[in-house]
C-alpha cells in the first residue's frame, strides 16, 4: 500500500484533478500563451506642497507700541481716544461750497503725496459727501496708487471733458475719475514733462477746479515739491488752504519758514497749515503739535488703509485734516 501523506493523497502521486484546470479528467486544455504584464503607468512623483501663507501688510504700530498706547489711554482715562473724537468732529463740521486744499512739499521725498492721500481718505471716511483727490504734480505721481486704484484716470481727459461737454450731475463729473471707495474719487497726471516750470494753465485749472467744487465737498490737490514754482502758483490761484509738508530738522524748518513768508505775500487769502512728517531715523523723538509720526504702514508705500495706521498716526492725521478743513472754510 502506498504511503499516504497527511493530506490524504499518496506520496509521489499527483492529486486528483479538480474541474476546470488543465489535465482534469484526461482531457487536454489549451493553455493560452503567457503575456508579459502591462507596465504600470508612469506617474509624476507626488511632492507634498505646503500652502503659502498670504503676505500680511504691516500695521503702523508694533505690538509693543499698541500695548503702550492702550495702557497710556487707560491711565489717562481715555484722553487719547478723546483727542480722536474731537479731531473727527472737526472733520465733520459743516462747510460752505466745495473747499479746495492744495498740498505742497518743501522738498522732494517730504511725503507730500502721502499727506494728500491721508487727507482724502480721512475726509471720505468721516464725511458723508464725495471727495476728489487730484494728482496735479509737475511729474507723474503715486497718488492713485496710494489711494488703492489700479485704474488709469488722466487729469487731461477730465479737463478735456469739462471743456467740451456739459457737466450736470455727479456721474458726469467723475466720468474720467477713478473710484477709490468711501465716496473718494481720484484723477492723476501721467503724461506731463518732469519739469518744475511746466505749469498747469491758470485759466484751465480755474475752470476744472470750480467745476469739481460744484459736486465735491472737498478737492484735495497734490501739488508736488516745488511750492514757489509757476506750476504751484497756478494751483494756489484757486485754493482755499495750503498744507505745506516738510521733513524734520532745523535747516528744513528754516526753509519752511521762508516758503511760508513768500506764499503769505503772494497769496494772502490762502490760509496756511504746515506739517512735519517724521522719518524712521528720528521716530523716537518727542511728538509735538504739527508733526506726523513715523508709521510703518505709510512707509511701506502700499495702498493706504486707515485700519492699519498706527494709533498716534491716526490721531495726528485726523487733527491735521480737521485743521486744514477749518482753514479752508475760513477763506
Taking the C-alpha atoms of residue 170 and residue 225, their distance in angstroms, rounded to an integer, is: 31
Better-scored residue on pLDDT, 207 or 271: 271
First to last CA, the chain: 132
What is the pLDDT averaged over residues 173-195?
79
Taking the C-alpha atoms of residue 75 and residue 260, their distance in angstroms, rounded to an integer, is: 39
Better-scored residue on pLDDT, 300 or 126: 126
Distance of CA 306 to the CA centre of its chain: 9
Q: Based on DSSP, count helices (H) and strands (E) in the chain, helices before strands.
A: 11, 8
From residue 253, alpha-carbon distances to 8, 108, 285 in Å are 114, 15, 16
Taking the C-alpha atoms of residue 324 and residue 273, their distance in angstroms, rounded to an integer, is: 6
Task: Name the average pLDDT for the chain.
Answer: 79
The SS3 of residue 136 is coil
By the 8 A CB rule, do 135 and 153 touch? Answer: no
Taking the C-alpha atoms of residue 11 and residue 243, their distance in angstroms, rounded to an integer, is: 112
Q: CA gyration radius for the chain?
A: 37
Strand ranges for the chain from DSSP E: 99-105, 131-135, 178-179, 184-187, 218-222, 241-246, 271-277, 291-292
> Global pTM?
0.76
pLDDT in tens, 189-243: 765 544 444 556 778 888 889 999 999 999 999 998 889 988 899 899 999 999 9
Distance of CA 319 to the CA centre of its chain: 20
pLDDT in tens, 27-69: 444 445 555 555 555 554 544 444 444 445 566 666 556 666 6
- Which three three-digit cell numbers place residue 102? 492744495
What is the pLDDT averaged over residues 60-80?
63
Amino acid at each position: 500500500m502506498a504511503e499516504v501523506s497527511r493530506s490524504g493523497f499518496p506520496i509521489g502521486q499527483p492529486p486528483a484533478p479538480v474541474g476546470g484546470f488543465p489535465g482534469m479528467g484526461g482531457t487536454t486544455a489549451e493553455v493560452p500563451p503567457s503575456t508579459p504584464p502591462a507596465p504600470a503607468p508612469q506617474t509624476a512623483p507626488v511632492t507634498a506642497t505646503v500652502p503659502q501663507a498670504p503676505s500680511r501688510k504691516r500695521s503702523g504700530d508694533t505690538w509693543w507700541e499698541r500695548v503702550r498706547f492702550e495702557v497710556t489711554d487707560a491711565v489717562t482715562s481715555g484722553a487719547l481716544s478723546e483727542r480722536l473724537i474731537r479731531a473727527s468732529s472737526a472733520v465733520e463740521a459743516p462747510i460752505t461750497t466745495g473747499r479746495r486744499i492744495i498740498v505742497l512739499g518743501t522738498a522732494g521725498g517730504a511725503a507730500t503725496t502721502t499727506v494728500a492721500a491721508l487727507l482724502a481718505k480721512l475726509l471720505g471716511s468721516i464725511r458723508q459727501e464725495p471727495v476728489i483727490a487730484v494728482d496735479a504734480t509737475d511729474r507723474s505721481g503715486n497718488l492713485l496708487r496710494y489711494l488703492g486704484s489700479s485704474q488709469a484716470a488722466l487729469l487731461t481727459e477730465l479737463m478735456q471733458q469739462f471743456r467740451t461737454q456739459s457737466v450736470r450731475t455727479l456721474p458726469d463729473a467723475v466720468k474720467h475719475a477713478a473710484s477709490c471707495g468711501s465716496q473718494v474719487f481720484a484723477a492723476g497726471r501721467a503724461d506731463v514733462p518732469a519739469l518744475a516750470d511746466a505749469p498747469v494753465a491758470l485759466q484751465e485749472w480755474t475752470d476744472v477746479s470750480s467745476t469739481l467744487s460744484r459736486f465735491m465737498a472737498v478737492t484735495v490737490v497734490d501739488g508736488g515739491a516745488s511750492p514757489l514754482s509757476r506750476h504751484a502758483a497756478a494751483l494756489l490761484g484757486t485754493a482755499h488752504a495750503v498744507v505745506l509738508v516738510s521733513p524734520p530738522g532745523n535747516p528744513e524748518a528754516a526753509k519752511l519758514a521762508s516758503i511760508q513768508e513768500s506764499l503769505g505775500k503772494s497769496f494772502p487769502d490762502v490760509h496756511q497749515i504746515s506739517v512735519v512728517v517724521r522719518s524712521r531715523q528720528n521716530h523716537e523723538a518727542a511728538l509735538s503739535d504739527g508733526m506726523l509720526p513715523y508709521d510703518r504702514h505709510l512707509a511701506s508705500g502700499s495702498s493706504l488703509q486707515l485700519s492699519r495706521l498706527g494709533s498716534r498716526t491716526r490721531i495726528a492725521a485726523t487733527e491735521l485734516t480737521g485743521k486744514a478743513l477749518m482753514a479752508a472754510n475760513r477763506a
